[in-house]
Amino acid sequence: MKTIILFDLDGTLIDSTEAILESFYHSLQTHNLCLEVSDSMITSQIGHTLETMFAGVGVQDDLIDIHVSTYKLYYREIACQKTILLPNAIEAIQEASLFARLGIVTTKTGRYSRELMEYFNLMHYFDTLIGFEDVENRKPHPEPILKALIQMEHKHQEAWMIGDTCLDIEASNRAGIQCVAVTSGYDNMEQLLTLTDVIQRDALEAVRYIAQRG
């Protein structure tokens, strides 16, 4: 039976930093919230939910939902034009599809994530995509990974996660599957090393690492 490989999106297969930053600032400006927010304050939280990200820059609790809604509306308008595939992402997906069944597990909205992957003509490689709205608990909780495995009718196949943050590693550990961390995204080597020593440069190297282990 084929191996299962689950991919994170941001920092693993795609770079949507420009779209995220622009949408974030648009939301803050739309609601006239005067906060001192820097790019690094936002990007350091990518991988967490939008609710967590807005709270993290100082948006008060009763204003978070409206900021998230404004962000999502704007993000959908610009996402495809301001998101790029990371180097070797296409090759990683194509090589992985030769020996594994593929899925996506992301904290991004699933609907927008599908639109992005269809825009890049890559969605057909994946058996499932689990996004923000598909679960009650997001990474680092294991629920998104476990739901993806259930949808893929996982039984005795070897399963792996490829992701760029400690959230991906912790979720994998808690779900009982193996993880390859990559340094192409938002958590740096020092952060990743706190949870694993299985670290590769990008998704393609991670796929090849998994292939060699099979």
For the segment 16-31, what is each residue's pLDDT rounded down to a tens digit? 999 999 999 999 999 9
Shared domain check, 130 and 33: no
Residue 214 pLDDT class (50, 70, 90 cuts): confident
Shared domain check, 120 and 63: no
Q: What is the pLDDT of residue 154?
A: 86
**DSSP structural state of residue 162:** E
Q: What is the CATH number of the domain that holds 56?
A: 1.10.150.240
The residue out of 29, 53, 78 marking a domain boundary is 78
Strand partners, 102: 5, 126
List CB contacts of 205: < 8 A, sequence separation 6 or more: 88, 182
Counting the structural domains of the chain, the total is 2
Long-range contact pairs involving 114-117 (C-beta distance under 8 Å, separation at least 24): 115/76, 115/79, 115/80, 116/9, 116/14, 116/16, 116/79, 116/80, 116/83
CB count within 10 Å of CB 88 equals 18
Residue 12 pLDDT class (50, 70, 90 cuts): very high
Shared domain check, 97 and 167: yes
**pLDDT higher than 90, residue 10:** yes
Shared domain check, 108 and 32: no
Q: What is the pLDDT of residue 35?
A: 87
Shared domain check, 175 and 88: yes
Shared domain check, 179 and 169: yes
The residue out of 63, 78, 93 marking a domain boundary is 78
Q: What is the CATH number of the domain that holds 90?
A: 3.40.50.1000
Q: Which of 165, 157, 128 is nearest to 52 (CA)?
A: 165
Give the C-alpha separation, 32 to 148, whole Å: 39
* 115-156 pLDDT per residue, tens: 999 999 999 999 999 999 999 999 999 999 999 999 999 877
Shared domain check, 121 and 36: no
Specify the 3-state DSSP secondary structure of 46.
Answer: strand
Q: What is the pLDDT of residue 164?
A: 98
Assess contact for 44 and 80: CB atoms under 8 A.
no
Shared domain check, 209 and 114: yes
Q: What is the pLDDT of residue 34?
A: 81
What does the pLDDT average to over 40-60? 95
Return the higher-pLDDT residue of 168 and 155: 168
The residue out of 29, 61, 78 marking a domain boundary is 78
What does the pLDDT average to over 84-99? 98
List CB contacts of 1: < 8 A, sequence separation 6 or more: 155, 156, 157
Shared domain check, 60 and 131: no
Specify the 3-state DSSP secondary structure of 4.
Answer: strand
Q: What is the pLDDT of residue 157?
A: 80
Shared domain check, 92 and 53: no
Q: Which of 197, 196, 102 is nearest to 157 (CA)?
A: 102
| Domain with 69 in it | 17-78
